[in-house]
Each structure stands twice: as structure tokens, then as C-alpha cells.
Structure 1
Amino acid sequence: MIENAVVDGELVVVRARASAKRAACPACGTTSGRVHSRYVRRFADTAVAGRPVVIELQVRRFRCRDRACRQATFAEQVDGLTFRHGRRSTGLQTVLQQVAVMLAGRADSRLANALAVRASWSTLLRLIRRMPEPEVHTPRVLGVDEFARRKAQLRHDTGGHRHAPSHRSTARPGHGDGGRLARRPPRRRGDLP
């Protein structure tokens, strides 16, 4: 629940508090309504009208009801706004990850500064490293590229597009490769790098 928003010089400060009656323990999943304490959490959000935004969110620490749980108390998280140990909102984190992936270097920190967000290039590279690995697909079609006749480059299809390979793009000796595969000595398992 937003209590107020104040423009403080070049900064917009939004004061809010979490309003859920219960929260789930991140360790065991048990919901609890027993409040242990309250504190104010400050984190950055996406800019408004070219001004940086800071959210001061009053959150509660709850006691876990499960006595066997390794975590006696836990702080509540607001879905779509906060995440554990985060100094930015979920929306700002997503924007910075996309900028980092697109530019990956010093240019991304300059763009972040233009978006009124303070982030160094090393911070943005750290965001890339924390992202989950993309899913890798095994190629369905593997053949010699008929357009690179001098280099014998390989081309592959990960399954995103369906196309029938021409007789020149199949990896058979003497078909569209100028005889290079036929002249190449066979490789054994121990020969691979």
C-alpha cells in the first residue's frame, strides 16, 4: 500500500508498506501471521520522468510456525516488486538484465545512466552471470555449407525451422563438397581434441 510519494531534489521517494496478513517461509513453505519485527527496506526502481526512484518499503519479519524449520524468522517479499537480498525492484532488475545482455560492456552502463539508473559495467556483467543458462538444443540437421565452398564450414539446425536439406548440404563424401570429405582421412575417437 503506497502511503506517499515525494520529489526530493532529483530523486523521487515512494513510501509504502506491505499489507499482506500472512507470508510463506522461504525455507519450508509454512505460512505465518506471527510478526517478529518491522523495518524499512530501501531499493531502486525504474525512473519516472528522468528522475531516479527509491522505494522505502516497510516490511515485517515473521516467525516461522514450524519449530523444525532451520529458519526461525523471515522477511516478507512483495510479489512483482521485491526479491531476497535485492537492492532493486524486480522490474528494474529485468530492465538492467536486458540492457546488459544486449550491450554487454561499458556501453550498457552508459545506457543505464541515460535511463537515470546508477549501475556500473561490472554490476551489469554480474547480472548476466547470474542469469540461468539458455536451453541448448541438439542439432537435427548437420551438413557442409554449400555457400562456403572454400572453407568447409558446418551448418546446423536446432529444430526451430523445418527445411529439407539439398543434396549439396548433406555430409556425404563427393556431394557438393568438391571431394574434400572424400580426401580427408577418417577420424577415430582418440583423434578428437
Structure 2
Amino acid sequence: MFQTSAGSPVPEGLTIVRRSDTAQGELHLTVKPVQRSSACPGCARRSSRIHSHYERRPRDLPWHGRIVRMTLRVRRFRCGTPACKVRIFAERLPGVVASRAQRSVRLADSQRAIGLAAGGEPGSRLAHRLAMPVSGDSLLRMIRSAPVPDFIAPTIVGIDDWAWRRGQRYGTIICDLERNRVCGFAS
């Protein structure tokens, strides 16, 4: 096994079991979790009794300009609590990869930031240049699912009306004078 460090190609909490290079120049890593036990989602009791394994293949951030593909060995554990309804459960890796996700949390965060800054197709082209390939439609889905910051109601408001064309078209702008930002706009 390889030791991981701050400049590691894998997220924290994982260790590299095997590393190989593909013909396309991609880096393929077989990784497994460092922790020896996992908490049951039913009763929250930790278990180290392994039932079986399965593999997930999430994508991860590029490393030195190369696309990284991971094979993640996920373990299924047996719950030892007799009253718990959950008998067998898969270990959760919330800081690494979300349930049923095809990309790591850190790759999803980077791609979402690209999508928020550049949009769909332009963001897709930028992500491909940065070795994080993603479609424009996927970027738009990630933008829509991004958490929206809580709205703070303004207490000091400024309102201004103007005419785009006198007698035909008017506009109104509402500004938050405390935070110096526009709250609304209508024309």
C-alpha cells in the first residue's frame, strides 16, 4: 500500500492499494477506506464485522493534469445490535463520495464552481481543459442542485424609478442600502 500525504491524488480517509496508468494517459487508482469500522445507519453503533465487499468507480480530481479514475472497495458490515432492524449495511463515506454518486465530493465541488462561474457549455469546455470532463447539461444540473444562501431581509431599502423611454417604458430598482446590493429589478 502507498502512503497518502497532503499532495495525495486521493481524498483524505482513503489509502491507495494499487496504481496503474491507462493507454489514454489516465491514472487509475484502487483505493480503500482507512477506518476499520463503520457506524450502523439504524442504531449508530459501530461495527467491524465485515459481511462482504463491492466496488464503486467514482471519478476524482485530476492529479498533475491527468484524469483520475478510482476503484473504491466498499465494505458491507453486519450490525451487532439485536434490536436494530438493519442487519447488513454499507459503510458511508460522506467526506469522500455521496451515496450513489459517480464523482467524489471534491470533484463535484470543483465542477459546480466552474459551472457557477462559466455556465453550461463554456464551463464544460473549461472543465475538459482542466482534466475534469463533464457535460454542459451535468453542470447545469449541479448548478440547480447547489444550496441557495439564506435570504436576509433588508431593513434599509432604497427604491428608484426611471423611464427607459418617456411615456412608454419604465423601470424600478430596489436596493439594500446596508449591504450595498440590488434586491430586485422590474421593467
Task: Give TM-score, length-normalised by structure 2.
Answer: 0.73
Greater share of strand residues, 1 or 2?
Answer: 2
Task: Give TM-score, length-normalised by structure 1.
Answer: 0.71
Aligned length: 159
Distance 1:158 1:131, change over 3 A: farther
In structure 2, runs of 5+ residues without a counterpart are 1-14, 164-169, 181-187
Kept after mapping to 2: 8 A contact 1:137/1:159: no
Mapped pair 1:107 → 2:126: no
- CA RMSD of superposed structures (Å): 2.3
- Counterpart-to-counterpart distance in 2, 1:69 and 1:128: 38
1:28 Cα deviation (Å)?
4.1
Give the equivalent residue in structure 1 for 2:176: 157
SS at 1:59's partner residue?
strand
- Counterpart-to-counterpart distance in 2, 1:26 and 1:128: 29
Mapped pair 1:126 → 2:141: yes
- Counterpart-to-counterpart distance in 2, 1:80 and 1:134: 21
Mapped pair 1:49 → 2:64: yes
- Counterpart-to-counterpart distance in 2, 1:64 and 1:158: 56
Q: What whole-Å deviation, never above 9, does each CA across 1:127-155 have from its counterpart, x for those lacking one?
A: 1222222211111111234xx65456333
The equivalences for 1:1-193 within 5 A come to 1-9=15-23, 10-67=25-82, 69-145=84-160, 150=163, 153-157=172-176, 159-160=178-179
Flag the structure with larger Rg. Answer: 1
In structure 1, runs of 5+ residues without a counterpart are 162-193
* Residue identity (%): 32
